[in-house]
Amino acid sequence: MHSVALVVYPNFQPLSLSIGSVFECANLLRGEPAYAFHLVSEHGGAVMSSQGFSVNTTPMRAEGYDTLIVSGYLDFRLPEASLPALVKAASVHSRRVVSLCMGVFVLAEAGLLDDKRITTHWLHAPTLRKRYPHLQLEEDRLYVVDGNLWTCAGMSASLDVALALVESDLGHDLARQVARKLVIVQRRGSEQSQLSALLELDPRSDRIQLALAYARENLRDDLSVEALAAVARLSPRQFSRVFREETGRTPAKAIEALRVEAARALMETSRHPVEVIARETGFGDRERLRQAFLRAFGQPPQALQKRLATP
């Protein structure tokens, strides 16, 4: 059985607790226990979260765990010196060490990140880089795996990391079932950017939001201005004007961004050839997909596939 320990400390961000549901569902769907989940802290007992409620914990054990996960803060602060020392001692006997969001600072203070590729929340990346200039920071990545070290971005990315851990342990099919059980719309891979295309567009009106939501769910269909205007119940001319006012982009550029994001996610989570990915995401053929990737990333989709295929 895999022992998984989530390390919390005073003022930890409680969204990190949600990863326990991933391992709980893995046990449920597998039909037998695969994970033993532990909520631990430096001294054990009640630990207060940043939202004012406390959780009961057991003392972190020096002999380590199969997977040791360090939760994060909401705002920047350095941990007490005793915590990184304890995490470092436990990491020696743990198969994997994971940081959630600003938990990376605990690992950095423990000296566990030297010569490792890492990531953290984009907002705190400049502080991390300034304090630890020797680290190999990849700040736009959702999560990064380097050997037995896993680091991830903001707190919602903890679910993506937990699903990736389950996939590594128990296979793709079970991880997919867990995601469906938790009603996670899209399993995001490590290469995915921390900022989604929909979040960057951020329209104000319900009608434009409705049109973008429709587009996101129907990327293979006709997503012309006329089609989207009909969804938004506006004339094509009105729709184009309002869309650009609210998002700063033309509808065509926005739809391309959504399709590129979906294509990149498919490359990370499947082994489909480029032709299939182009068809599934509405590009139609590999040349249109290639041109879109060159505009978005400065490299063709084959370059991403090659990087993903490299151990």
Provide mean pLDDT across the span 155-165. 86
Same domain, 14 and 159: yes
pLDDT class for 213, splitting at 50, 70, 90? confident
- Residue 222 sits at the vertex; the CA angle it makes with 216 and 228, to the nearest 5 degrees, is 65
Same domain, 223 and 309: yes
- The whole domain housing 283 covers 196-311
Same domain, 37 and 164: yes
pLDDT tens digit sequence for 167-197: 999 998 999 899 889 887 555 555 555 555 5
- The amino acid at residue 120 is T
- Strand ranges in the chain using DSSP code E only, listed in sequence order: 2-7, 35-41, 45-48, 54-59, 67-70, 96-99, 117-118, 136-137, 143-146, 149-152
Query: In this structure, is residue 189 part of a structural domain?
Result: no
pLDDT tens digit sequence for 279-308: 999 998 889 999 998 888 788 888 777 766
Provide mean pLDDT across the span 80-106. 91
pLDDT tens digit sequence for 125-134: 888 888 888 8
Query: In this structure, is residue 187 part of a structural domain?
Result: no
Same domain, 134 and 269: no
Same domain, 8 and 64: yes
Least confident window among 72-81, 90-99, 117-126, 163-172: 72-81
CATH code of the domain covering residue 21: 3.40.50.880
Provide mean pLDDT across the span 107-120. 90
Same domain, 44 and 167: yes
Residue 309 has pLDDT above 70, yes or no: no
Query: In this structure, is residue 188 part of a structural domain?
Result: no
- Residue 209 sits at the vertex; the CA angle it makes with 142 and 277, to the nearest 5 degrees, is 50
Q: Which of 153, 181, 209 is where one domain is finished?
A: 181
Same domain, 45 and 112: yes
- Residue 87 sits at the vertex; the CA angle it makes with 85 and 93, to the nearest 5 degrees, is 115
Same domain, 165 and 208: no
Count of the separate structural domains present in the chain: 2
Same domain, 125 and 231: no
The token pair that represents 252 in the structure block: 């065509």
CATH code of the domain covering residue 231: 1.10.10.60
Residue with tokens 């959702």: 142
**What does the pLDDT read at residue 189?**
54
**What does the pLDDT read at residue 198?**
57
Share of the chain above pLDDT 70, in %: 93
Q: Nearest CA to 100 among 182, 186, 20?
A: 20
Same domain, 229 and 277: yes
pLDDT tens digit sequence for 38-58: 999 999 999 999 999 999 999
Q: Which of 154, 181, 208 is where one domain is finished?
A: 181
Question: Which residues fall within 8 angstroms of residue 7, CB to CB, at 6 or more apart?
Answer: 40, 41, 60, 68, 69, 70, 71, 83, 87, 103, 106
pLDDT tens digit sequence for 217-257: 899 999 999 999 999 999 999 999 999 998 888 999 999 98
Provide mean pLDDT across the span 26-39. 94
Same domain, 287 and 175: no
- The amino acid at residue 247 is T
Same domain, 82 and 127: yes
